[in-house]
Structure 1
Amino acid sequence: MKTKIYYLIAFVIVALAACTAQKGTSVHDQLDGRWHLTETLNDIGDGKGKYVAVTADSSYITFSKAGLVGGNAIYGATNYKLIDATHLALTIKGNTAPINYRYKVDGNDLELNAPCREACGLRFKRMK
């Protein structure tokens, strides 16, 4: 009898976990769409770099759930692959290996940071 109860409890826990996972939004869903470049960060190495608003409004990047990348904000980017919750690898034409970027999606805001010696970054707003 105890064994049956343990199996029942384990089944309920697994079923609840599966339902929770289905309700959550995947990172692919969060990244999916077109993003407008709004700010860039460049630092000469002294730690005093700040994000600066982009004056031209034509730079953008697109991500698809299938792992495709488009746009002109990161020249030559064609594909992406999620590495973990904070890193993605971008395949860029002409490079022999993908480049790992740190990323953060917060609602309609996206931040991408390339592996620069000094601080560098791109901030985007989701386009509707």
Structure 2
Amino acid sequence: MKTLFKLTSILYLFFVISCSKDKSVNNPGLDPALNGNWKLIETFADPGNGSGKWRPVDSNAPIENILFKKDGKLRWSRYKEFIFYTKSDSRILSFAKIDASVWKYFYKVKNDTLILNPPCIEGCGFKYVKIK
């Protein structure tokens, strides 16, 4: 009986110690590189003929940003109805709205730059820089 108690105690202790408080470490649906605040710096639009270019945002326009939280919550000034995000795979982020509908965006993080490409018939995208 004492052996069973010791074994149970050791297993319990092992599980408690192995648990991490950082949800992004344990959740493969989150990308730790996204954590933090991002500011929109450029937009991309293509009329359908391949002539699209990245253009800086208007300096007089309101600042647009996205805050990705470690627990999968989201604050996006452009789309306030998006409240959660998950990583569908290495290239796709799924954004969940309050009404439970989901939008999928292609994404790429390189250094401190994030590119989001929503579903568009022609090319379109948003380029963000991480705010330190």
Shorter-chain TM-score range: 0.7 to 0.9
Match of 2:49 among 31, 36, 46: 46
Q: What are the residue-to-residue correspondences of 1:19-38 with 2, within 5 Å?
A: 28-38=31-41
- Alpha-carbon distance, 1:65 to partner: 1.5
Q: List alignment gaps of at least 5 residues for structure 2.
A: 1-24
Query: Over residues 23-80 of structure 1, what are the superposed CA-to-partner deviations in whole Å (9 max), with x where a residue is unaligned?
Result: xx88622000000000001112111111100013611011111111103133422111
Q: What are the residue-to-residue correspondences of 1:75-86 with 2, within 5 Å?
A: 75-86=80-91
Match of 1:98 among 99, 102, 115: 102
**1:117 correspondence with 2:132:** no
| Amino acid corresponding to residue 127 of structure 2 in structure 1 | R
Separation in 2 of the partners of 1:73 and 1:34? Answer: 14
Cα RMSD after superposing both structures: 1.9
| Amino acid corresponding to residue 82 of structure 2 in structure 1 | A
8 Å CA contact 1:110, 1:124 repeated in 2: yes
- Alpha-carbon distance, 1:91 to partner: 1.2
8 Å CA contact 1:110, 1:125 repeated in 2: yes
In the superposition, relative to structure 1, how do residues 110 and 45 fare at CA in structure 2: closer, same or farther (>3 Å)?
Answer: same
Separation in 2 of the partners of 1:74 and 1:107? Answer: 24
3-state SS of paired residue (2:121) = coil
| Percent of residue pairs identical | 32
1:70 matched residue in structure 2: 75
Q: List alignment gaps of at least 5 residues for structure 1.
A: 1-24
Normalising to structure 1: TM-score of the pair?
A: 0.73
Q: Give aligned pairs, total.
A: 103
